[in-house]
A and B are shown apart, each in its own frame.
Chain A
Amino acid sequence: MKLGDVVKLLGCSVHNEPPGWQEREAGAVFAGDLMSDVLVHEGEATLLLTALNSDQVIRTADIVDACGVILVNNKIPQKSIIALAAETGMPLFSSPLSLYRCCADLGNAGSGD
């Protein structure tokens, strides 16, 4: 599923949009707040869904070459987080939906593992 479609599906607001982000293909979905788990996860071009709103989310996403980050429960990132996303070229969004709803909707749309 393309990132542009995911963002539409989950009603996201956009905080950082590097060129061509809509066309990025989400190879896997990871949902959770434990960044240690993300670092162990082996998926490629992972879309990271999390309720954790911190710099370390972007750092972690960058380290594992995630295709984008969606903050759930309408968490709005601080300026420093948006700046870091811009620096690392990481697409960053907020969805008003819960983590569960996001996962359910993505699952119904046939994405993720």
Chain B
Amino acid sequence: MGKAISLNSQNLPTVLLDLIFKLKIKDVMSKDVVTGTKQESLRTIQQRMKLRGITGVPIVDGPRLIGIISIDDILNAFDQGHIDDPAEDHMTRNIIVLEDDMPLSFAISYFNKHGFGRFPVLDKKRCLVGIITNRDINTSLLIEVNRIVEQLEGEREHTQVTLEGEHSKQFPVKKHDFEHAGKASTEIKKFLKERQIHPTLIRRIAVASYEMEMNLVVHSDGGRLLFTMNGERIEISAVDQGPGIPDVDKALEVGFSTANEWIRSLGFGAGMGLPNIKRVSDEFSIASDKGTTVRSVIFLGDE
């Protein structure tokens, strides 16, 4: 068994502490549990362990957990010659279990306290719904931390650039967040107004930005709106993480829309957004794969 994770440590980074309280055991556990029945022989169970590469098998009676056979029980059975006995004769009946709704921190402290390599996980009705190992915990934490780091890197990439004469702003936009949709564009508009940019230009920039923002809210899984002003050049981009546009040419046709009735009832989704962004832009580009990036450039010298 690997070295225990010490939860008491004051040195545990806040990000990890947050995660182990936020994640629930059901988010981390393996749901595909390899089980055995009480009538099956220890040999059958040993073969199942070998096949699936695991070191412990919960023994169930229907959905109920009644015992567990670990690799130690198998070794003892070979040693003492009872490998063909049914599981119920030798299984551990006094089992420590976890509940699926508990925070991950419980699982970590259980691993620290008890010397087991795994804990069966039960739901509120006491039915077996999963099994959790140290490996499950490590994998989940790595994935989560990686996700957080990627997000931070993405934010840093675009907020740190404040070169001389360049202004840069970034606004996160959430999926279906109609309550805040348009807020970024209102802010961009205010910023430009303060700099006494010509109203006609402000309107073009604001229209591009607002259409992009609505697209992010309506169609994307969430993303960010980036605004950069460098001398006479204004660039606005909408960058999202997905789901991507299957046919970009089609999406650029006026009147083509994948929006549902609910979005139309809010006054959007008429298939006019992208063509309208293109209309007001001096330069326009769109690239879509897994995620989509829409970019609009407007030059201030035009008016």
Contact = CB atoms under 8 A, between A and B. Distances in A.
A59 interface: yes
B99 interface: no
A57 B207 CA distance: 14
A17 B266 CA distance: 25
Contacts of B179: 55, 80
A105 interface: no
A56 B182 CA distance: 8
Given A52-B267, A57-B267, A63-B189, A40 B182 contact: no
Interface of B: 178-179, 181-182, 185-186, 189, 199, 203, 206-207, 210-211, 214, 266-270, 272-273, 276, 279
A39 interface: yes
Given A35-B268, A62-B186, A88-B186, A40 B178 contact: no
A36 B210 CA distance: 10
Contacts of A37: 270, 272
Interface of A: 33-37, 39-40, 50, 52, 54-57, 59-60, 62-65, 80, 88
A52 B179 CA distance: 15
B182 A63 contact: yes
Given A52-B267, A54-B266, A62-B186, A39 B211 contact: yes
A59 B185 contact: yes
B276 A39 contact: yes
Contacts of B186: 59, 62-63, 88
B180 to A, nearest CB: 9
Given A55-B182, A56-B182, A63 B207 contact: yes
Contacts of A56: 178, 181-182, 214, 266-268
A38 to B, nearest CB: 8
B102 to A, nearest CB: 38
Contacts of A55: 178-179, 181-182
Contact of B270 (A36, A54, A63, A64): A36
A54 B206 CA distance: 19
Contacts, number: 67
B279 A40 contact: yes
B255 to A, nearest CB: 10
Contacts of A88: 186
Contacts of B178: 54-56
Nearest to A54: B266
Contact of B272 (A40, A50, A60): A40
Contacts of A64: 203, 206-207
Closest 10 CB pairs of A and B: A59-B182, A35-B267, A36-B272, A36-B270, A63-B206, A63-B210, A52-B267, A39-B207, A40-B276, A34-B270
Contact of A60 (B210, B270, B273): B210
B279 A60 contact: no
A40 B211 CA distance: 10
B88 to A, nearest CB: 63
Nearest to B185: A63
Contacts of B185: 59, 63
A37 B276 CA distance: 10
A85 to B, nearest CB: 12
B267 A60 contact: yes
Contacts of B207: 39, 63-64
A64 B204 CA distance: 9
5 contacts: A34-B267, A34-B270, A56-B178, A59-B210, A64-B206
B189 A62 contact: yes
A55 B209 CA distance: 17
Identify the interface centre among A34, A40, A52, A55: most chain B CB within 10 Å of its CB.
A40
